[in-house]
């Protein structure tokens, strides 16, 4: 049987056209974290490489930070908000189940009536969003896609947890993905390992707080929240996550290079998820990257911002001149799920 559906008329390839970032104004040094845990600045730096992080104030919401980052990306791409056909937002710190924060952001930036949705893929979320955007552009359902990674992880930080209190920061990073005449976003190597889901997780589910009657329960108010339940936070098994990231993600990064037909010697820039400086340095060593490759180490002053970390690091490298337009970059995100995504891109 012959299909009557016409073939899609998308662009032959897709590229990142512009990038933007937003970091909250409040800078939090390690000394402030040490008010809550028994540790030291030296210990935090040696274990994570983090010296400071940014925490959002009351007016720096997931939406407002995203709008700031999006505006910069739109301007950098040389388009207008009205030209955006889809908005993809990756976040784990938008606390309303519905509607998606992407719809609010689309409205706030004046994008008209684009497709808009959220994804939850933790620290790999930017890579997932980038892959979806590339597919939309090449398939023809969108010409310009706004991809945002945004987090307010300070809302999910347990300041008394010695293993994680110093790790997380807030911020938003955004890119515009649009049509290209030559390959500029390589094949994505992505996946999940759900058997390791317990290694990074939220401590308590939101429904633990429910105090109203549950439909179908044996009695009204059958499920009620304890009087003093601890607020949910992100927790992780540090050593298990470290080993997985160092040994398994280096393999994924190499697979992404192979899929793109690029060798380590061809790279100009390496932008891994900014989880931990020791993980970054170990991956550089395992991949045998030449010293000429610029490595993003934004984690030192920004902390771990999950889905926002890669676009924030990309934006800083370009803004400071450490990377330039046209450079070939390997990007890889990995985290809760456990999920991962890696690809090779041409920087805007």
CB 261 within 8 A of CB 285: no
Task: Select from 271, 274, 279, 194 the least CA-distant residue to 244.
Answer: 279
- Which residues are part of the catalytic machinery? 123, 273, 304
DSSP states along 69-99: HHHHHHHHHT--GGG--EEEEE-S----SSS
Task: Write the CA distances from 19 to 140, 146, 312, 345, integer angstroms.
Answer: 22, 10, 9, 13
Angle CA(268)–CA(126)–CA(113) in degrees, nearest 5?
Answer: 125
**Alpha-carbon torsion, ordered 170, 333, 295, 24, to 10 deg:** -10
Tokens 């809550």 map to which residue?
Answer: 36
b/e map of 284-304 (b: 16 or more CB within 10 Å)? Answer: beebebeeebbbbbbbebbbb
Q: Which residue has the tokens 């955006």?
A: 84
- Strands in the chain per DSSP E: 13-22, 26-29, 52-55, 86-90, 115-119, 145-152, 170-180, 189-192, 200-202, 234-236, 269-272, 294-295, 328-335, 339-346
Q: Tokens 């992880």 correspond to what residue?
A: 153
For residue 246, how many other CB atoms are within 10 A of its CB? 18
Record the tokens describing residue 11, joined without a space.
């662009």
On the 0-12 / 13-18 / 19+ scale of CB atoms within 10 A, 277 is middle
Do the beta carbons of residue 250 and residue 283 sit within 8 Å?
A: yes
């Amino acid at each position: 049987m012959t299909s009557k559906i016409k073939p899609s008329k998308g662009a032959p390839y897709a590229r990142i056209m512009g990038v933007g970032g937003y970091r909250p104004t409040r800078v939090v040094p390690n000394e402030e974290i040490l008010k809550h845990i028994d540790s030291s600045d030296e210990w935090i730096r040696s274990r994570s490489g983090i010296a400071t992080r940014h925490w959002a104030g009351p007016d720096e919401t997931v939406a407002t930070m995203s709008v700031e980052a999006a505006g910069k990306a739109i301007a950098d791409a040389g388009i207008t908000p009205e030209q955006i056909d889809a908005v993809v937002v990756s976040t784990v710190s938008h606390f309303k189940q519905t509607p998606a924060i992407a719809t609010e952001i689309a409205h706030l930036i004046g994008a008209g009536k684009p497709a808009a949705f959220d994804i939850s893929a933790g620290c790999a979320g930017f890579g997932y969003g980038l892959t979806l955007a590339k597919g939309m552009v090449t398939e023809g359902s969108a010409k310009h896609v706004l991809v945002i990674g945004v987090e307010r992880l300070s809302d999910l930080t347990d300041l008394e947890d010695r293993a994680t209190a110093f790790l997380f920061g807030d911020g938003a990073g955004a890119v515009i993905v649009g049509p290209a005449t030559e390959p500029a976003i390589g094949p994505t190597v992505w996946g999940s390992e759900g058997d390791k889901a317990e290694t990074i997780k939220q401590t308590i589910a939101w429904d633990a707080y429910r105090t109203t009657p549950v439909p179908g329960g044996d009695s009204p108010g059958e499920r009620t929240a304890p009087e003093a339940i601890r607020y949910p936070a992100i927790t992780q098994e540090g050593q298990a996550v470290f080993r997985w990231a160092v040994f398994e993600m280096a393999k994924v990064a190499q697979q992404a290079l192979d899929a793109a037909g690029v060798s380590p010697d061809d790279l100009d820039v390496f932008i891994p998820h900014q989880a931990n400086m020791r993980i970054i340095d170990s991956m550089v060593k395992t991949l045998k990257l030449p010293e000429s490759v610029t490595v993003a180490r934004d984690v030192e002053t920004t902390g771990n911002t999950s889905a926002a970390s890669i676009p924030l690091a990309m934006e800083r490298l370009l803004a400071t001149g450490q990377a330039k337009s046209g450079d070939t970059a390997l990007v890889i995100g990995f985290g809760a799920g456990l999920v991962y995504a890696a690809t090779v891109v041409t920087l805007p």
